[in-house]
């Protein structure tokens, strides 16, 4: 508690408040630009922070991270362009809501959900990060694999329509994830001698191409047949009904996201998937999922923000970053002559507590910054699509190019755009493909690592209670709804009998 | 609109200023004009580590050469995409340089068909020497090299070691150790050094290899045991960790970090760069970087560096063939 | 749903996807077989891709045999020949942009692409409005991304950089 108080004293210094606000603002702006996600934002702005003292620098970078993560969901909702992997799920229902004239409401729910989750996350980091990290660090390949399989069950759960078609999309996504150098042996796979394919496809290019560019191409096709009337802007604020339906998903998403985020095999993206699946299971309106269900925005948005907070724990407590963003933060700490490691909390407590407090302050600022901005963002929808689409394409191209400073990325974006367009024409649901693509690499990797470490896989699994528990939970996710349906029928039957 | 105009003028004025300083350089040096424009370090890895090293050098060299130093990352394919860019697409005038580990020149050429030849890049200077460290998990049945070798001899393939990726420096170092000590280890690759270290801290695997920067803080915090460093002699910044040679295993492998220029770069330019780099290596930004990242900054000129790469390449080839990783 | 073409399309559509899937599955199977499969403990790089490719082939075959009922969103209208031409144009322009970017540089290539896209939006070949918009968009993007955010867009080898 004392530490947290000290942290607030550090974070609330006027200079640090300015850096926190600056970071959140720049981050939001960059996040809103398609293709430039948190990693790109931090990498680009890292040199700017070099002159600052370490605490201010980290506070500013954390602000950029939050801002960029949040800005990414705005484009996901408005124009179906996920700025990064963690807002892929937001595209599903957020974009549909925007199409129905509920863009303002979707963005507001996303902002509030993120705020609540960020607050829960900051508190949890401050209070219980040591015991949590002891738990998280025990996650080996077997545990990661079970967690990823859980994510996979969720994809199956959320797939809609023809089962065979969904399965084909899942397998296609997994196959796409195999392209590139095999991480275990270094052998190139499915690269057909093209050097640029050695590192595989980037998540951003795949998601932006299939969702974003695919959508743009489909709209281009309908320039003449569909009256390209701008989407109605509708009300800016969520309705009472929206609030009521979002409250529980936000609460669940916050807790779930935080727990998944702090695990080495987890992270914000997986957190958002799992939350989506869980909400689809809990909701009273499962038929609305994929057609603009507010729970499908609230839960995952809370989960990915809580996940982002959770992923700070291994970095802050042990100096072990779990994802590219925290790895960049580690780099930032090093630039500022802080040696990250298990001793950092003792040696430089002001950094740990400063970050925790600034997370909270940053979240307050983000909400204060973004709620008024909603009015401006939704104005974007008033721009005639025939003009807007050109700018969208340019932004996506720049985003793709900036990933590796290589025009080949633009060609890949185009390739996936055409693929997404084609699949939609053939009436395939592209969401399972992207989700499977995101999970594919880690699943194969952890499967093979587990097999390497286990002399007898079954025996090995029996000795890993955490992995078993997660797998059990996955099974529950499948079995529970069947059970509750049976119970509902029984209740109805009893009620009828009593009459 | 006025904002755009301002930016345009600012840029032009800046260019004019650059041209003026370039003119001054010409008269005072008389021989040739270098540098005439900003110098770019191409780092062939994702931002996070090597580019920070390059930035530290850049900020010192800016003071020496009087030109802006830029750092551009062109990651991909184990560093060969960035290396290929400098080898094939950069003008050989010393303004575009490769700042990288030696892997794209000493390891990658044996593994894959590359679009560039090793001779397309000429060494300018070696600036860093690792050091790499091997760390063991807490509670492992060994706590130094001797007991590790004895345990691994008694239990072949039971000891697992994590690397930062198959075919990369840490994997090859681990295999080189196993070869030198005549033991059998089980290799478990990870996507990067940090996940391997995390798995060792969590007790999933027995050993992790990586830069001192990722292992030593864990050892200091009591979550790992640093059992050996890979250099010939103990690094200045790591006086407490024994070398393999001291522990009775004949092995010395220092990951080289250095700077290259395109093949056709004039000798005089390379010499001028090397002089500037040597001076930068003792500058405050580089020293501070070395301190906080536990990097051994050691300058060596073009000739020494060239020889070291050739030696490393000659050592890696049979190892890669033995591991089935050669092309 | 207008006339014959779309009813033909309705008949072909589900099977077309299946055929593409079968081809991809077979290519994948062939490519995976070139890679070592390894053992159950040390799974080789080809093992998982092979399994997936076989699954792809099998599932696509199943889809080919029994395409099943079409999805509910079949009510969407097609853009017809005109729409297809528009999409092709846009795709070709983005492709050309990617190929010419390093040579022309971002400002030139970007302006050209924007002109093309705006012209398509207006459905006019020559349009002063589109040109003005294109120049402004490309410049704004240049200032925002290259100058302010220091994204490394190429300046263009054509101009001697």
The pTM (predicted TM-score) of the whole model is: 0.80
On chain A, the residues whose CB falls within 8 A of the CB of B288 are 337
Higher pLDDT residue, B55 or C88? C88
Contact list, B326 vs chain A (CB under 8 Å): none
Chain A CB contacts of B290 below 8 Å: none
Give the nearest chain C residue to B90 (CA atoms).
C161
Chains that touch C (3 or more CB pairs under 8 A): A, B
Q: Is the pLDDT of residue B102 over 70?
A: yes
Token reading at A313:
């724990």
Local confidence band at B15 (pLDDT 50, 70, 90 cut-offs): very low
The tens digit of pLDDT for each residue in B180-198 reads: 899 999 888 887 778 888 8
ipTM for this model? 0.90
Residue % of chain A over a pLDDT of 90: 17
Q: Closest by alpha carbon to B294, among B194, B222, B214?
A: B214
- Closest residue in chain C to residue B73, using alpha carbons only: C152
Longest dimension (CA), chain C: 66
Q: How far is CA B88 from CA A346, B92, B119, B261, C44, in A?
A: 49, 9, 11, 11, 34
A interface test, pick of B75, B159, B201 with most A CB neighbours within 10 Å = B201
Residue-level length of chain A: 499
Nearest to A90 by CA among A288, A293, A321, A237: A293
Between B23 and A142, where is the model more confident?
A142
Check residue B28 and give its pLDDT. 38
> Which B positions 76-95 lie with beta carbon below 8 A of chain A?
76-78, 80-81, 84
CA C99 to chain centre: 15
| A196-219 pLDDT, tens digit each | 787 788 888 898 999 999 999 988
Domain with CATH 3.40.190.10 in chain B: 132-247
**Interchain pair C79, A224: CB under 8 A:** yes
- Greater confidence (C117 vs A186) lies with C117
Residue C71 has pLDDT above 60, yes or no: no
**Lowest-pLDDT choice from B149-163, B223-237, C143-157:** C143-157
- Residues of chain A with C-beta less than 8 angstroms from the C-beta of B137: none
Which pLDDT score, from 0 to 100, does residue C2 have?
A: 43
Mean pLDDT value across residues C5-14: 63
Q: Is B9 a residue whose pLDDT tops 70?
A: no
Q: Give domain B132-247's CATH number out of 3.40.50.300, 3.40.50.720, 3.40.190.10, 1.20.120.420.
A: 3.40.190.10
Q: What is the pLDDT of residues C19-33, one digit of tens each?
A: 999 999 999 999 999
Question: Alpha helices of A232-294 — where are they, by DSSP H?
Answer: 240-261, 268-282
- Lowest-pLDDT choice from A337-351, B28-42, B113-127: B28-42
Range scoring the smallest mean pLDDT among A401-405, A462-466, B28-32? B28-32
Of chain A residues 33-62, which have a CB less than 8 A from chain C?
Answer: 33, 36, 44
pLDDT of residue B11: 36
The average pLDDT across B248-264 equals: 88
Q: Bridge partners of B98?
A: B42, B260
In this complex, do A407 and C87 lie within 8 Å of one another by their Cβ atoms? no
Residues from chain C contacting residue A408 (CB–CB below 8 Å): 98
> Using a CB-CB distance cutoff of 8 angstroms, which residues of chain B are in contact with residue A314?
198
Judge: C143–B72 Cβ closer than 8 Å, yes or no. Answer: no
Q: What is the pLDDT of residues A332-346, one digit of tens each?
A: 777 777 777 888 888
Q: What percent of chain C has pLDDT over 90?
A: 45
A495 has pLDDT over 50? yes
B38-129+256-323 is classed CATH 1.10.10.60: no
The chain-wide mean pLDDT, for chain A, equals 83
Q: Where are the alpha helices (DSSP H) in A137-239?
A: 141-158, 163-178, 203-207, 214-221
Least Cα distance to B43 among A319, A186, C152 occurs for C152
Alpha helices per DSSP H over C34-146: 47-65, 80-104, 106-122, 128-141
pLDDT digits (tens, 9 = 90+) for B194-244: 888 888 998 889 999 988 888 888 998 899 999 999 888 888 888 889 999
Domain ranges of chain C: 3-75, 80-159
Q: In angstroms, what CA-CA distances link A273 with A172, A280, A447, B134, B297? A: 18, 11, 20, 37, 45
Cβ–Cβ pairs < 8 A, chains B and C: 6
Q: Considering Cα of A42, then A45, then A46, then A49, what sign does the dihedral take?
A: negative
User: How close does chain A come to B303, measured CA to CA in Å?
Assistant: 31
Nearest to A340 among B52, B160, B217 (CB): B217
Q: Which residue of C has its CA nearest to A190?
A: C31
Is the sign of the CA dihedral B213, B218, B220, B224 positive or negative? negative
Chain-chain contact of B4 with C152 (C-beta, under 8 angstroms): no
**Inter-chain residue contact C94 with A397, CB threshold 8 Å:** yes
Tens-digit pLDDT profile for residues B260-272: 999 888 888 899 8
Percent of chain A with pLDDT over 70: 92
Contacts of C139 in chain B (CB under 8 A): 4
Q: What pLDDT score was predicted for residue C53?
A: 94
């Amino acid at each position: 508690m004392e530490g947290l108080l000290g942290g607030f004293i550090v974070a609330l210094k006027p200079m640090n408040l300015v850096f926190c606000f600056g970071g959140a603002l720049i981050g939001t702006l960059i996040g809103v630009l398609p293709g430039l996600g948190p990693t790109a934002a931090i990498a680009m702005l890292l040199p700017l922070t070099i002159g600052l003292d370490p605490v201010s620098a980290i506070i500013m970078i954390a602000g950029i991270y939050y801002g960029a993560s949040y800005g990414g969901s705005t484009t996901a909702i408005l124009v179906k362009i996920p700025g990064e992997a963690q807002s892929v799920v937001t595209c599903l229902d957020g974009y549909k809501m925007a199409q129905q004239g509920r863009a303002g409401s979707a963005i507001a729910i996303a902002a509030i959900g993120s705020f609540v989750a960020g607050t829960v996350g900051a508190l949890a980091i401050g209070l219980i990060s040591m015991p949590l990290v002891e738990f998280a660090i025990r996650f080996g390949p077997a545990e990661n694999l079970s967690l990823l399989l859980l994510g996979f069950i969720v994809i199956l759960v959320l797939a809609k329509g023809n089962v065979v078609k969904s399965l084909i999309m899942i397998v296609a996504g997994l196959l796409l994830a195999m392209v590139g150098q095999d991480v275990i042996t270094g052998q190139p796979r499915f690269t057909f001698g093209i050097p640029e394919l050695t590192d595989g496809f980037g998540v951003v290019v795949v998601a932006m191409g299939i969702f974003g560019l695919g959508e743009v191409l489909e709209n281009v096709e309908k320039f003449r047949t569909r009256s390209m009337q701008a989407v109605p802007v509708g009300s800016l604020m969520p309705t009472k009904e929206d609030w009521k339906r979002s409250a529980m998903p936000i609460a669940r998403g916050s807790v779930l996201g935080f727990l998944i985020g702090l695990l080495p095999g987890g992270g914000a993206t997986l957190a958002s998937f799992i939350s989506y699946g869980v909400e689809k299971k809990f909701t009273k309106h499962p038929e609305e999922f994929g057609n603009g269900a507010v729970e499908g925005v609230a839960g995952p948005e809370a989960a990915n923000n809580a996940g982002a907070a959770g992923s700070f724990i291994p970095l802050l407590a042990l100096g072990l970053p779990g994802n590219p963003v925290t790895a960049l933060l580690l780099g930032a700490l090093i630039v500022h002559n802080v040696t990250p490691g298990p001793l950092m909390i003792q040696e430089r407590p002001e950094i740990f507590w400063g970050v925790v407090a600034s997370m909270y302050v940053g979240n307050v600022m983000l909400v204060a910054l973004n709620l008024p901005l909603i009015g401006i963002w939704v104005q974007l929808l008033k721009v005639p699509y025939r003009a807007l689409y050109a700018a969208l394409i340019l932004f996506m191209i720049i985003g793709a190019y900036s990933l590796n400073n290589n025009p080949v990325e633009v060609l890949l974006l185009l390739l996936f755009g055409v693929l997404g367009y084609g699949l939609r024409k053939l009436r395939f649901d592209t969401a399972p493909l992207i989700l499977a693509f995101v999970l594919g690499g880690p699943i194969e990797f952890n499967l093979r690592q587990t097999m390497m470490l286990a002399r007898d896989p079954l025996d090995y699994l029996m000795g890993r209670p955490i992995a078993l528990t997660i797998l059990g939970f996955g099974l529950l996710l499948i079995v529970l709804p069947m059970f509750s349906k049976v119970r509902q029928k029984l209740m109805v039957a009893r009620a009828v009998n009593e009459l | 609109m006025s904002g755009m105009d301002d930016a345009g003028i600012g840029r032009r004025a800046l260019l004019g200023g650059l041209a003026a300083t370039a003119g001054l350089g010409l008269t005072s040096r008389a021989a040739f004009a270098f540098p005439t424009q900003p110098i770019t370090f191409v780092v062939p890895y994702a931002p996070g580590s090597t580019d920070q090293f390059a930035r530290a050098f850049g900020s010192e060299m800016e003071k020496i050469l009087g030109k802006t130093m830029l750092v551009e990352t062109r990651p991909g394919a184990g560093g060969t995409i960035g290396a290929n860019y400098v080898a094939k697409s950069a003008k050989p005038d010393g303004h575009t340089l490769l700042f990288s580990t030696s892997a794209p020149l000493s390891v990658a050429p044996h593994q894959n068909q590359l679009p560039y030849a090793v001779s397309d890049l000429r060494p300018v200077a070696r600036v860093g020497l690792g050091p790499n460290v091997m760390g063991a998990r807490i509670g492992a049945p060994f706590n130094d090299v001797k007991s590790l070798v004895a345990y691994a001899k008694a239990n072949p393939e039971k000891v697992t070691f994590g690397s930062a990726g198959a075919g990369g420096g840490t994997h090859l170092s681990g295999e080189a150790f196993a070869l030198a000590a005549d033991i059998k280890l089980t290799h478990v690759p990870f996507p990067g050094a940090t996940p391997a270290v995390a798995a060792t801290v969590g007790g999933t695997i027995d050993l992790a290899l990586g830069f001192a920067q990722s292992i030593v803080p864990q050892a200091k915090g009591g979550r790992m045991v640093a059992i050996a460093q890979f250099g010939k002699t103990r690094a200045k910044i790591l006086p407490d960790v024994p070398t393999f040679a001291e522990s009775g295993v004949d092995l010395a492998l220092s990951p080289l970090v250095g700077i290259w220029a395109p093949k056709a770069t004039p000798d005089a330019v390379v010499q001028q760069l090397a002089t500037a780099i040597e001076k930068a290596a003792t500058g405050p930004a580089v020293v501070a970087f070395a301190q906080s990242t536990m990097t051994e900054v050691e300058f060596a000129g073009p000739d020494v560096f060239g020889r070291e790469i050739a030696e490393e390449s000659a050592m890696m080839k049979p190892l890669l063939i033995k591991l089935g990783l050669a092309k | 749903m207008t006339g014959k073409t779309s009813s033909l399309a309705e008949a072909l559509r589900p099977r077309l996807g299946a055929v593409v899937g079968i081809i991809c599955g077979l290519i994948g199977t062939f490519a995976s077989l070139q890679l070592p499969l390894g053992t159950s403990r040390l799974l080789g790089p080809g093992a998982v891709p092979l399994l997936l490719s076989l699954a792809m082939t099998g599932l696509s075959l199943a889809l080919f045999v029994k395409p099943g009922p079409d999805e509910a969103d079949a009510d969407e209208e097609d853009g017809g020949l005109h729409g297809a031409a528009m999409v092709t144009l846009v795709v070709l322009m983005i492709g050309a942009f990617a190929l010419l970017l390093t040579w022309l540089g971002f400002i030139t290539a970007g302006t050209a692409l924007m002109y093309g896209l705006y012209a398509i939006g207006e459905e006019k070949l020559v349009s002063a409005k589109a040109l003005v918009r294109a120049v402004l968009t490309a410049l704004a993007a240049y200032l925002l991304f290259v100058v302010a955010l220091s994204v490394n867009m190429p300046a263009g080898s054509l101009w001697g950089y």
